[in-house]
Amino acid sequence: MKKEQKPDKFKKQKTIVSIVTPFGEGGIGKIIVSGPDALSIVNTVFQGKGIADLREVASHKLYYGHIHHRGQRIDEVILHIMKQRDSFTGNDGVEVNCHGGIRVLMSIYECLESTGAEGAPWNSLLSQSLENNKIDIIQKEALQEIVQARTKLGVKVLLDQYAGALSAALRKGLEITEGIRQSLNHNESYHNAIVNPDPLPSRGGSSNNLSHPSLSRERELDNQSPNTIPSPHERRPGGGNRLDENDASVSALADHINNLLKTASFGMALTTPQVLVILGKPNVGKSTIINAILGEERMLVHHEPGTTRDYVSEFIAVEGIPFELVDTAGMRNTNDMLEAMSIEMTQEQLHRADKVFAVFDNSRPFDREDEVILDALNSWLTSKISGDLPQKASTSSVIPVINKCDLPVKLDRLRIETAFQQPICSLSALNKEGFDDLNKRLVQEFDTAYKPMRPVVFNERQYLLLAEADVLLKQAKECLITKNKTSKILPVIDKLQGIFTACLKGSQ
């Protein structure tokens, strides 16, 4: 376990200047100066009526005036002063509210830079807040994601994680592991008292030793004769059974982590829109389906096969889950150069797909061209099915669709059912029928009925760390089941604590 990096209290943090509103025309623009010298830097360029020195003014109040630079008035501004004690970053901060527009913002930004602040992107403010322990890394990640959220549900879930839902769940993990450690240490002391009622000073002596286990202590316990180590079912002096309690705690923690891991596919789908590719032979109605989903005639539709040549993508949201919906050229074996190029593009899009609508035409018999689609899907699934992340493809990542159900049946439906082994969505894209079922299928794996303040894992870093914790908890369970291996569990508990801390603080 790497040592946790603590902020160096004696190292002076930089004073940074960031433009925090987007570039473009707008009524107002905002620049933030944050750091130990924020007040004196802004003071150098600010002139306000009746304000002699910004360092002397009250915090959390607004101050009207002008920014001047090299004898020139740059803009009329309203400053918001936030002194260190209760600022978001934990540093002195000044919000400079000026007129919107690139020119004004850049002039003030450059003026503050030349006065001593270091130019930085807006999220450097989050880094300062993290360094000063105002937020943890999960809250920082949530804030960074909120500005990119594509759906209201995404914002809601991320705001809850910023408010501390996932952080609290991880702190609970830390608390449980600490409980297990204390119990194991107590158990060990009890065992030592039985084996050696008069402990040697070299053993450290303290029966309440809650510090991390040393290697020598581990070795010492491992070398004990099996008969002298208390069995998991041995009663402790107070009448309880600490090893049983530990069993229960490890199981409770394993369930806790497992439940958190289960939220990852939902959380990560909110922050990283899934690529949904629509695949089918030419003329099955792929573009018509996309237009029906989008509710507008976005894609070119034509009765001749081979209409879509380039791939086209649009973002959609289904019950708050964002998707990047990609229309592709129909796939088939062809000698036509242009069509072959389009099909190659379709293959590329398929390669990056998280989910696929596999479309078949109800009004035509199953044929060789449909076989090409099945082959392409099989190779896609084989290449995607492995992987460590929760969004890895599975057979349910392909949703079979039969379109043109308003026309007389010529397709062998059984052939499609046998190929996919799962329910088929029947559509008439022309009549806009069957889409409720299609939408349900698309989001069925996600818990879209989100309850407020539920902890949700929402990025790869958090997921991979918790997946590691899950593996360690299985090891811990093994240790508890196998008698005489009590000492082995302490290093596992150490590692678990390291993982929870890394999840919250970003280092391990």
Ligand X SMILES: Nc1nc2c(ncn2[C@@H]2O[C@H](COP(=O)(O)OP(=O)(O)OP(=O)(O)O)[C@@H](O)[C@H]2O)c(=O)[nH]1
In whole angstroms, what is the distance from residue 481 CA to residue 247 CA?
Answer: 8
Q: Which element (helix H / strand E) includes 242?
A: helix 242-262
Smallest distance, ligand X to C-beta of residue 275, A: 18
* 428 touches 434 (CB < 8 A): yes
Comparing CB distances to ligand X, the nearer of 272 and 308 is: 308
CB of 313 to ligand X, least distance (A): 14
253 versus 359: smaller Cβ distance to ligand X: 359
Among the candidate windows 67-75, 112-120, 308-316, 382-390, which touches Mg ion by CB under 5 A?
308-316
Instruction: Give me the least distance between CB of 280 and Mg ion, in Å please.
Output: 9
243 makes contact, choosing from ligand X, Mg ion, none, with CB < 5 to 8 Å by partner type, with: none
Give the residues lining the site for ligand X (CB under 6 A): 280, 282-288, 301-303, 305-308, 329-330, 403-404, 406-407, 428-430
Rounded to whole angstroms, how far apart are CA atoms 328 and 286?
8
Q: With respect to ligand X, which residue has the nearer C-beta, 263 or 288?
A: 288
Across 289-313, b (16+ Cβ under 10 Å) vs e yields: bbbbbeeeeebebeeeebbbbebeb
* 292 contact, one of Mg ion, ligand X, none, CB 5-8 Å limit per kind: none
Cβ atoms of 265 and 390 within 8 Å: the answer is: yes
Give 97 or 287: the residue with its C-beta nearer to Mg ion: 287
Select the residue interacting with Mg ion from 291, 308, 362, 486 (CB under 5 A): 308
Cβ 37 vs Cβ 116: under 8 Å: yes
Single out the residue of 257, 278, 321 nearest to residue 469, CA to CA.
Answer: 257
Specify whether the CB–CB gap between 254 and 470 falls below 8 A. yes
Closest separation in Å from C-beta 7 to ligand X:
57
Give 230 or 280: the residue with its C-beta nearer to ligand X.
Answer: 280
With binding defined as CB under 5 A, does residue 346 bind Mg ion?
no
Residue 340 C-beta: closest distance to ligand X, Å: 14
117 φ/ψ sector (left φ>0, alpha ψ -120 to 50, else beta): beta
Contact of 169 with 462, CB cutoff 8 Å:
no
Report the distance separating Cα 202 and Cα 185, nearest Å.
17
Q: Specify the residue, 299 or 490, whose C-beta has the smaller distance to Mg ion.
A: 299
| Residue 464 contacts which entry, Mg ion, ligand X, none (Cβ below 5-8 A, type-dependent) | none
Kindly state whether residue 307 participates in binding Mg ion, applying the rule CB under 5 A. Answer: yes
CA 355 to chain CA centroid, Å, is 19
Tokens of 143: 């804030």
User: At its nearest, how many Å lie between ligand X and the CB of residue 321?
Assistant: 24
If contact means CB under 5 to 8 A according to the sort of partner, which of Mg ion, ligand X, none does residue 285 touch?
Answer: ligand X
Query: Which residue's CB is nearer to ligand X, number 286 or number 495?
Result: 286
What is the closest distance, in whole angstroms, from the C-beta atom of residue 370 to ligand X in the complex?
12
Q: Is 187 exposed, middle or buried (0-12, 13-18, 19+ CB in 10 A)?
A: buried
Q: For 320, left (φ over 0), alpha (ψ -120 to 50), or beta?
A: left
Between 263 and 283, name the residue whose CB sits nearer to Mg ion: 283
State the nearest-atom distance from the C-beta of 310 to Mg ion, in Å.
10
Instruction: Give the residue at shortest CB distance from Mg ion.
Output: 308
Residue 313 touching Mg ion (CB under 5 A): no
The reply to whether 287 sits near Mg ion by the rule CB under 5 A is yes
Q: Are strands 61-69 and 72-82 parallel, antiparallel or unpaired?
A: antiparallel
Q: Which does 305 bind (CB under 5 to 8 A by kind): Mg ion, ligand X, none?
A: ligand X
Stretch that binds Mg ion, among 70-78, 153-161, 183-191, 281-289 (CB under 5 A): 281-289
